[in-house]
Structure 1
Amino acid sequence: MTAQFEYSTLANPQDIQQLGTIFEQCFISGLGGEEAYINLIGVENFRIIRKSEQLVGGLATLDMGQWWGGVRVPMTGIAVVGIAPEYRGSGGAIALMQHTLKELYDRGIPLSALYPAAQSLYRKVGYEQGGSWCNWQVATNTIHLREQPLPLQPVVPINNQVFHELYQQQARLTHGYLDRHPAIWEGLIQADKNEVVYAYFIGTKDQPEGYIIFTQKRTQDGEIIFVKDWVLRTVAAAQTFWSFLASHRSQIQQVRWKSSAIDSLTFVLPEQTAKMSSQFRWMLRVVDLVKALEMRGYPSGIETELHLEIQDNLLDANNGKFILSVANGRGEVTKGGKGELQLDVRELAPIYTSLFTPYHLQISGKLHGTETAISAATQIFAGSSPWVADFF
């Protein structure tokens, strides 16, 4: 199928314009300026595919990292996969993804993640559900926290560099968090039309214990604070975060923010008044099996072996039997072994991220394994509910 398509980087000005037009139609101008978006991500980070010399579609690659077990693992995000409507169903999207994944493997990238518009397409090339992206909301008059232990310091002008170290401190401890691409940071601090972005350090400027970045909007549901980003490193910071938001109750009816499916922020509230308004699952692909398993962190108190047998229909090097040996919080992979846990590389993703336990995947018919292997995999990949705060 892929032989009839030609895969390449994006360089020609005419191709840039044409790809922008395809994106505009695919995403109904949702990017707010397609060529500006291409320039923000960087022309060199786009890949395109042609059929009979005609541009069929393209995508963006965002090189960044993701935190697993307290360790940053290189990860390439895939964004804006767009195929011209007249070429849909031709196999162009699958060919584009297959070529991209082979390139990522050749570059030594362990992981890739994306937000699917059509989950079945990405499953065909080895992606599977990896974690959550959730929207939460609470009415300001139900927060009922008044004590504010820390001061708030306005940040003007807003520059993501001043937040970066605080963010990384929280990211290291948050299963699945991104080491963000610069374009994601840019989206957090840049205002859309007709809005203002506000940012505050929580605590002193010299030693902040967190921060909040938000906008305020009038909507048909009333006045709402949209928290674009937050970091809370201490109990006092969490208390201050909620009391600060509660202090807006005379003018603001509701607060909305991104968090995990199991949101520890809401545990601070006196009552269960916060509700998840929507949940979406992003997908992960193990691109380089050995690197993905060796580069992440593991629970420090475990010393065991897991004998894997992996099938990967796209990337040959991931096929076969492997032994994952875990000790002192790190993993080492060798070829061979008993192949006691048998699964497709696709099903490795939700185990790797701790989204589902091996037992749950076993009873879903997604893997086969001995009792010993299921037990070892459960210990090795134990972790909190994985989530990402950013849509890309």
Structure 2
Amino acid sequence: MTSQFEYNTISNAEDEKRLGKILQQCFNSPPDESIQTYFQRIGRENFRSIHDSNQMIGGLAIIPQGQWFGGKCIPMGGIAAVGIAPEYRGSGAALELMRQTIRELYRRGIPLSTLYAATQRLYRQAGYEQGGSLCSWEMPTQSIMMRDRTLPMQAVNLDHHQLHNLYQQQAKLTNGYLQRHQVIWQEIVESSTYAYLIGEDQPEGYLMFKQQKVKDSDCIVVRDLVLLTPGAVRRFWTFIGDHRSQIEKVRWKHSLNVFFTLMLPEQTAKIVDLGRWMVRIVDVIAALKNRGYPQELVTELHLEVRDSLIVENNDKFTLKVAQGRGEITRGGRGELKLNVSGLSPLYTGLFTPQQLQLVGHLEATETALLSATQIFAGSSPWMSDFF
């Protein structure tokens, strides 16, 4: 069936201005130059629009990034600023916009797409499902009680280029972390006031933060944090605790399980906000091939994937894992059956195969469940970035 909508790139200043006005209304943004700056940073070539009868009625941004899973970085299209003019909502334009975007990503050889959803229902219709978490934590500085100043704290300029290599080391170890686009780095830098390297000759981490009032309390808000050694963790907590005479609380973003609070004497850290980002497996073969896997594991998994949008994904596949790598071929016994949306939380490791089976996202034999559990084992996926 031919769609009534037309999917286009943003090719000129007039298109950019029209889409900018739609997005400003959708996201309740003030009518200033901020949307123009946003277009400049992401790049006009990365915006798409949807038209009805030659009238632009909405659009979105595709932020070219990467995402780390199993120690490997997979190309990913981050979807942002999805907006439809209010008079066209309910027309099916948003779903068609997402479907066309996914088809484009497939043609371009981009295996994954990730986004933060204002409403899950729309994106689930396009094959997305929950993939990982972003949590905001808070704790009183008085409760930290860490006194280890072995490593120096070196104040540095707010320049992400000198921090990039440290960030990459942590990203490789963290399922869900981004290979950040420039626009995300810029937002972190601009929303920070202070930056410190932890360590001197060979830094072991870094900290970027601002100080502000949060619910009438003076607070350190951590904007970016990399901790690569036990010494860096201790120095971070000591540094934050040393603010206790003036700063009441510290806030930071992390996973549901913050490992570095294990060094603290009491459980005073609390989750103040929890959200989940969504993932779409755009290209099943490329996504499974490029992901990393447990190094010592040798096994295989027979999948059957159902995907009504990308017909090339609608097939049986055999995934063979050895030496931390995956080899995937078409065919096999189809012992683990699931929709492409159900593949997302399995692929990222957000939920176990048994949990996904309990909520009806997959059907599998006991052998396939065991293999899938071993293949996708790892730390719970999360990221500290919102886009």
Q: How does 1:138-217 map to 2 (within 5 A)?
A: 138-156=139-157, 158-191=158-191, 197-204=193-200, 206-217=201-212
User: Which residue of the partner structure matches residue 133 of structure 1?
Assistant: 134
1:308·1:322 contact (CA, 8 Å) conserved in 2? yes
**Matched position secondary structure for 1:208:** coil
1:49·1:58 contact (CA, 8 Å) conserved in 2? yes
Summarize the Cα distance change of 1:266–1:337 in structure 2 as closer, same or farther, 3 Å threshold.
same
User: Which residue of the partner structure matches residue 55 of structure 2?
Assistant: 54
Q: How does 1:1-392 map to 2 (within 5 A)?
A: 3-29=3-29, 33-156=34-157, 158-191=158-191, 197-204=193-200, 206-392=201-387
Shift of 1:14: 1.6
Shift of 1:266: 1.4
Question: Equivalents in 2 of 1:6, 1:344: separation in Å?
Answer: 27
Question: Equivalents in 1 of 2:262, 2:274: separation in Å?
Answer: 19
1:45·1:61 contact (CA, 8 Å) conserved in 2? yes
Shift of 1:2: 6.4
Question: Equivalents in 2 of 1:376, 1:115: separation in Å?
Answer: 30
Question: Equivalents in 1 of 2:256, 2:61: separation in Å?
Answer: 27
**Matched position secondary structure for 2:3:** helix
Summarize the Cα distance change of 1:251–1:310 in structure 2 as closer, same or farther, 3 Å threshold.
same
**Matched position secondary structure for 1:391:** coil
Question: Equivalents in 2 of 1:64, 1:282: separation in Å?
Answer: 15
Summarize the Cα distance change of 1:365–1:276 in structure 2 as closer, same or farther, 3 Å threshold.
same
TM-score (norm 2): 0.98
Shift of 1:32: 7.8
1:2·1:95 contact (CA, 8 Å) conserved in 2? no
**What per-residue deviation string (whole Å, max 9, x for no partner) do you get for residues 237-280 of structure 1?**
00000000001111111100000111112112111010111110
Q: 21-30 vs 170-179, which deviates more?
A: 21-30
Q: 370-379 vs 21-30, which deviates more?
A: 21-30
Q: Where in structure 2 are there 5+ consecutive unaligned residues?
A: none
Question: Equivalents in 2 of 1:220, 1:209: separation in Å?
Answer: 33
1:214·1:229 contact (CA, 8 Å) conserved in 2? yes
TM-score (norm 1): 0.96
**What per-residue deviation string (whole Å, max 9, x for no partner) do you get for residues 261-320 of structure 1?**
111121121110101111100000100100000001000111111000110010000011
Q: 21-30 vs 252-261, which deviates more?
A: 21-30
Shift of 1:183: 0.5
Question: Equivalents in 1 of 2:362, 2:276: separation in Å?
Answer: 21
**Matched position secondary structure for 1:282:** strand
Structure 1 residue ranges (4+ consecutive) displaced by more than 4 angstroms after TM superposition: none
Question: Equivalents in 2 of 1:32, 1:137: separation in Å?
Answer: 33
Q: Where in structure 1 are there 5+ consecutive unaligned residues?
A: none
1:67·1:176 contact (CA, 8 Å) conserved in 2? yes
Shift of 1:97: 0.5
**Matched position secondary structure for 1:305:** strand
Question: Equivalents in 1 of 2:228, 2:148: separation in Å?
Answer: 18
Shift of 1:25: 1.0
RMSD: 1.2
Question: Equivalents in 1 of 2:266, 2:33: separation in Å?
Answer: 39
**Matched position secondary structure for 1:265:** helix
Shift of 1:34: 1.3
Question: Equivalents in 2 of 1:11, 1:160: separation in Å?
Answer: 31
Summarize the Cα distance change of 1:141–1:32 in structure 2 as closer, same or farther, 3 Å threshold.
farther
**What per-residue deviation string (whole Å, max 9, x for no partner) do you get for residues 130-183 of structure 1?**
000110001111111122221111112x21110000000010001111110110
